[in-house]
Amino acid sequence: MIAEEVPSLTVATILGVTVVILIAIIVVFVLGVLIDWRQQRLMDKRIGEVKRMKTHRKKNTNADLDDVSIANNMEEPSISAAPAESLRNLP
């Protein structure tokens, strides 16, 4: 009688432990997905706020509206000396 109960008890224990482990793995996976979904929602919200802030402070970068242009105010090559020439003349 004892010899017949031991194998069935071991098989039931192994199956029970296996089912519990599988359920635990599924629960952990679902929790990970839910936490990731929540974090993604929070990150999207923060990114949206940052984008809105950037559009409000965005400056006009249109070149046509510049009053002063560096290219128009450049000196002639003969007027200014090269930096190496200036360093040679230092005492």
Q: Which amino acid is at 22?
A: L
Q: Which amino acid is at 4?
A: E
pLDDT reported for residue 84:
74
Rounded-to-integer distance, Cα 37 and Cα 17, Å:
30
Q: Long-range CB contacts (< 8 A, 24+ apart) of 67-76?
A: none
Q: Which amino acid is at 9?
A: L
Q: What is the pLDDT of residues 32-74, one digit of tens each?
A: 999 999 999 999 888 888 887 777 666 555 555 556 666 666 6
Q: Given the structure tokens 């000396």, which residue do they identify?
A: 81
Rounded-to-integer distance, Cα 73 and Cα 64, Å:
16
**pTM, 2 dp:** 0.45
Domain boundaries, the chain: 22-55
- Residue 83 confidence (pLDDT) above 60: yes
Rounded-to-integer distance, Cα 16 and Cα 14, Å:
5
- Residue 24 confidence (pLDDT) above 60: yes
